[in-house]
Amino acid sequence: MRIDAISIFPEFFSVLDLSLIGKARESGLIAFKAHNLRDWTNDVHKTVDDTPYGGGAGMVMMPEVWGKAIDSVAAGSKPVIIFTTPAGELFTQQIAQELSTKEHLVFACGRYEGIDQRVVEHFGKDFEVRELSIGDYVLNGGEVASVAMIEAIVRLLPGVVGNAESLEEESFSEGQLEYPSYTKPQSWRGLEVPETLLSGHHAEIAKWRNEQSRLRTQKNRPDLLK
């Protein structure tokens, strides 16, 4: 899989070198590159924004520079183009799974009040385009949201170290939150590891974990049970 990100702050993506993405890159499983949007400006100030038509607060990212950047990064390819925006469809595990099957992803990361909507409309004519949000809160730009999405997608790729077992466990508990986990020591600051987990009775342990998942889901995410 090839992944490109376009941003005025490409340095945000250096965290991906630290996580499993780094390993997936070293093994040649993914090719990732972060691009500086300002590389496609022509003026001395490297301007990327202007005032909004219709008035209002803040600045809007100009279509011309975005058009050149995406043309260049998508040349000779048919990528899925992802626009991170708080006004997007909610990014879910299902969407991560869908995107993990694609050959080429381009993340377009806005700042300020976002990107001129004609950029989405224009590239939607030739490419699969998605406007996605990671949740109902407001960030200052699309970079952090893109990093979260990239990590969620790349860990699903077949051949990413350690993914086979953990992905199987995840699909097993689908629709519920994960059960709580414990490790050594058995007693810590007066708190004990639940007895069932020490019993060695695999059926009992599975039953206990299932019940814990249900209780946790009921408490933290009742919407998932309905």
Q: CB 47 → ligand JF8: shortest distance, Å?
A: 17
Q: Which residues bind ligand JF8 (CB under 6 A)?
A: 84-86, 88, 110-111, 114, 133-135, 137-142, 145
Q: CB 222 → ligand JF8: shortest distance, Å?
A: 22
Residue 121 to residue 131: CA distance in whole angstroms:
11
SS3 12: helix
Residue 110 to residue 82: CA distance in whole angstroms:
11
End-to-end CA distance of the chain: 36
Q: CB 14 → ligand JF8: shortest distance, Å?
A: 19
Closest CA to 143 of 37, 52, 42: 37
| Six-digit token string for 112 | 């300020």
- Which CB sits closer to ligand JF8, 29 or 139? 139
- Which CB sits closer to ligand JF8, 104 or 111? 111
- Which CB sits closer to ligand JF8, 92 or 166? 92
Query: Hey, what amino acid is at 72?
Result: S
Q: What distances in angstroms separate CA 68 from CA 36, 40, 76, 127, 151, one per listed residue?
A: 12, 6, 14, 15, 27
Q: What distances in angstroms separate CA 204 from CA 212, 216, 222, one per listed residue?
A: 12, 18, 25
- Which CB sits closer to ligand JF8, 91 or 179? 91
- Which CB sits closer to ligand JF8, 52 or 88? 88
Q: CB 61 → ligand JF8: shortest distance, Å?
A: 8
Q: CB 183 → ligand JF8: shortest distance, Å?
A: 33
